[in-house]
Structure 1
Amino acid sequence: MPGLQREIISVHRISQFIALFVVLVAPLPFGSVDLIWVWIWTALLVVSLMTADLSRLCRADLLVLGSTVVILLFTCALAIFQVWPGIDFAIANPAWDMARNVAGLTLPDRLSVTASVPWVAFGPCLLFALVLARAYLIATDEEAARSLLKATAYAGFAYAVYGIATQLLAPGMLLWRTKEYYLSFATGTFVNRNTAAAFWGCCAVLFLGMLLALSSDTWFAERPRRIRHSIADHPIVLCSGLLACLTAVGMTGSRAGVLLTLLCLAFLANLHLMQYRDQLRRYWFVAGAVTVAAIMVFFVIGGMASSRVGMFGVGDPRRLEVYRTSLEMLRGHELFGWGLGNFEAAFPSFRAADLGSQGIWDKAHSTPLEMLVSAGIPLTILVCGLAVLFFGRMILGSLTRRRDNYMPATGAAVFLLGALHSCIDFSVQVTGFAVLFAAVVGCGLAQSISSKKRRSGVGQFNIS
């Protein structure tokens, strides 16, 4: 029996290593935008989930894991329905009838404007759900959750250092390829600077979360020290990581990236410190210091972003026109949409003349809006409703936990940054960012349940 137990422990450690490898490496190959990386990471996570440790699960975990599975099944069913041949002509996409009349081809009616894209587009949805679930299972153990957040933060630090160094020394290179876009801005291993800004902003949030947890003993003497800290937890090291990530965000020149990063850093600081709100003098002093620091950081590192705000303003007229056109595309397709991943195929016939001939709009630059166009209103409402539920659960967990409340608070701040940025761009549709986003949110959700409840076995159920 002892030998068998050691083997099981070894399998669980290997399983966690596989999951951690995916989270840390996914941003490397150009943000994993190529479909081949989606399937590689999916295969690895399936293996990791099959060998995951389920011993710490309790009934409260079913809300997250169960609802995630339900939404995933709805999405899969919708993708199959959208590409199913021979659909009723009344609800079929008119593109198929046009193809038969113009090209003289014998083609069955489908709900989707393409025959296979919805099924292919389901792959990133599956990967996102797998990462969220695997990170959640890992984070049911508080030490493993702490290690996951720390490893993700320092991976982001490494990517930030690389992005800064590359922009200073070889601005025309993107890894081993020649950089074609955003030559004046840092993008790291990502193609798009806005996605890079959201990625480094999330990593900055992770560093601030660890700094807040470490500094609580100094600011609030009532909080006992429980953890033996390593060199990676030293305040100077954590501040260096935070500064590097913030510098990288500033060097992207992304207006939304800089503003949302500072907003979410302030949100995290105040959410973490809310548990000390009874100590009003210290709380308001620290809250004020955080606000002043955020303003100073904006003027120090947000030079390029603030200059672009002055030149172009906060909004983008062309993007607003795409949003308006996307809402027009929804008419007549409210229930089932145009097909998952079909925005690029459907948009050209609706493209307004005001957009001119420049620019390739293969995405709506708003993930919720593109979800409406491609999947319809019902599924979008379900997904957004679940997202709000998850966000609320992490906020509640950060306010009710007596210890380690920085983990659900960090998850909530990263969620807020990614969700807000994806409302005006497509960062969460880039696999390299989506993997980090799902992992941190999964960790925050798992740690919203107190460790005391898990240890006491309250609500625990038998997996076997």
Structure 2
Amino acid sequence: MAIDVSGFEITRASSGGNRRSQGQARLNHILAMGLIAFLFLAPIPLGANRPIFWAINAALIGGGGIAYGILMLWRRENFRVALSDIPVLTGLWALLCLYAVVQFIVPVSTVFVAPGTQVVSSTLSIAPGSTFHSLIQFLTLAVFFFLVLQVSANRERARFIAAALFWVIVAHAIYGLLALTQFGDTLLFLEKWAYLGSATGTFVNRNSYATFMAFGLVLGTALAAQTVEKAANSRQIPIANVMFLLVGLSFLIIALYSTQSRMGLAAGLAGSVVVAIGFVIKLGRRQPRLSVLMVVLGVGLAIAMTVLFGSGTLDRLGSVEQSFDVRFALYSQVIEMIASRPLLGFGGGSFEAAFPLFHALPVSPDLVWNKTHSTYLALWVEYGVIFGSIPLLVVLGIGLRCIQLVIRRKSDWVLPLASLGIIVTAALHSLVDFSLEMEANALFFTALLALGLAGVTQYGRRQKRQ
């Protein structure tokens, strides 16, 4: 007897082993609902970009992870995706966390030398408290990634979660547009202190909000590809589903343009193009007319939204050269910081404390520079070139695996393709901004990568049995 619960199929079992499996499926279903609710709420308090929200999120995710682990042990269940299934990723992330511990715990007198200045610290980190906070964030993301892997091993559930997260981002897009146009351009119904005239949603920074919207745009493009794939298999086009997706995508594009973020728009479009290219390659031969039709609809929607709502962002293209000059001066001094401590770094989360040692004209002294405006440079400044490259290697490894899955699979290739598009979006925007340093964006990024990667072990075992 089969019972359909929110798109998940649960089968009545006749044996003890199957009953345990059914119990684990129910537990994972509950966990999935909790994770979706958590991701809906996480961006609301200023993009979760405050230490108090880091602590709350760490407590919620850590507590949920402990409770989940205890229940699994009590039921004598095996994890759907074990850490041994992803040994390289696990080992690299553990090494990064271990180095962060070394930075703020090991009592080593350290002299930080800058032009005309030197500072002595009792640890390898110039700001051990900030390094501890960064470690908590890394551990939080690791536990969160592991939990999403568990609930996404069931690929039907993974597709449900992906659709739910798309509509979560759409809901935030609608709020952002209402806050800009109907609620007096406010931030959580309070007066904004930055980026007046630009959509910021619940974020303070328009570029961070733009990355959030771009994630939704890429995910929506992938869901459209998934709908077309199903239509190709059933030879019936679900018109209602396509129309709902187009409405959701329209809100996301409007919100993305309303941020007036140039790189956020470019990164979102780049990620969507990657998904569209993958979609055409996978289905173009089987359903060439349907593939062309969907691509034309997507391009037409993008052009229409650009004409109607893109003037503010397009006007800002004229100031690209001036913005580049400011960033180039900042990046030059950041690179000087990296060169002064290329192996050890200044300590996780320590840029704000360390940069004043190197801050000089032409970088404006009237502004507080608490971010590098490039996540790559931030990692190398704080952890050194070797350890700071670990997150980049982890994401690169996931991206390469997603490419393999998209190429090899005849089905269940859409979510790995979505993850690949998300990686492209995040990688491009992180070149010139710090959107992934906003915890809400980092949590969504982590979840979307796990959705694409989670089925890899199940797929490999199925191939071996065949």
Measured against the shorter chain, the TM-score band is: 0.7 to 0.9
Equivalent in the alignment of 1:171: 184
Change (3 A) 1:267 1:294: farther
Contact 2:128 / 2:347 at 8 angstroms: preserved in 1?
no
Please state how far the C-alpha of 1:454 moved relative to its aligned partner: 4.9
Change (3 A) 1:94 1:112: farther
Please state how far the C-alpha of 1:325 moved relative to its aligned partner: 0.7
**Structure 1 segments unaligned to the other structure (5+ residues):** 101-107, 460-464
Equivalent in the alignment of 1:401: 409
* Deviation larger for 249-258 or 416-425: 416-425
Q: Distance in 1 between matches of 2:411 and 2:235?
A: 10
Q: Which amino acid aligns with 1:93?
A: F
Contact 2:124 / 2:347 at 8 angstroms: preserved in 1?
yes
1:76 aligns with 2:97: yes
Contact 2:262 / 2:317 at 8 angstroms: preserved in 1?
yes
Q: Superposed, which structure 2 residues align to 1:177-192 within 5 Å?
A: 177-192=190-205
Please state how far the C-alpha of 1:313 moved relative to its aligned partner: 4.0
- TM-score, length basis structure 1: 0.85
SS at match of 1:337: coil
Please state how far the C-alpha of 1:117 moved relative to its aligned partner: 1.7
Contact 2:351 / 2:371 at 8 angstroms: preserved in 1?
yes
Change (3 A) 1:9 1:215: closer
Please state how far the C-alpha of 1:437 moved relative to its aligned partner: 1.0
1:197 aligns with 2:210: yes
Q: Which has the higher contact order (CA 8 A, sep 6+)?
A: 1
**Structure 2 segments unaligned to the other structure (5+ residues):** 1-15
Q: Distance in 1 between matches of 2:317 and 2:380?
A: 29
Please state how far the C-alpha of 1:284 moved relative to its aligned partner: 8.2
Q: 1:361 aligns with which of 350, 365, 369?
A: 369
SS at match of 1:353: coil
Equivalent in the alignment of 1:419: 427
Change (3 A) 1:292 1:399: farther
Q: Distance in 2 between matches of 1:317 and 1:392?
A: 34
Contact 1:93 / 1:109 at 8 angstroms: preserved in 2?
no
Change (3 A) 1:285 1:346: same
Contact 1:266 / 1:291 at 8 angstroms: preserved in 2?
no
CA RMSD of aligned residues (A): 3.1
Q: Distance in 2 between matches of 1:16 and 1:281?
A: 36
- TM-score, length basis structure 2: 0.85
* Aligned sequence identity (%): 24
Contact 1:318 / 1:355 at 8 angstroms: preserved in 2?
yes
Change (3 A) 1:445 1:344: same
Aligned length: 440
Q: Residues 401-434 of structure 1: CA distance to partner in whole angstroms, max 9, x if unpaired?
A: 1113111111111121112111211111101111
Equivalent in the alignment of 2:80: 57
Equivalent in the alignment of 1:268: 275
SS at match of 1:116: helix
Q: Distance in 2 between matches of 1:284 and 1:214?
A: 11
Equivalent in the alignment of 1:44: 60
Q: Which amino acid aligns with 1:39?
A: A
Contact 2:111 / 2:118 at 8 angstroms: preserved in 1?
no
Contact 1:255 / 1:314 at 8 angstroms: preserved in 2?
no
1:149 aligns with 2:162: yes
Q: Superposed, which structure 2 residues align to 1:48-447 within 5 Å?
A: 48-50=64-66, 51=68, 55=78, 57=80, 62=84, 64=86, 66-84=87-105, 86-87=107-108, 89=109, 92-93=111-112, 109-218=122-231, 221=232, 223-224=233-234, 234-278=241-285, 282=289, 285=292, 289=296, 294=302, 297-313=305-321, 315-447=323-455
Q: Distance in 2 between matches of 1:420 and 1:24?
A: 25
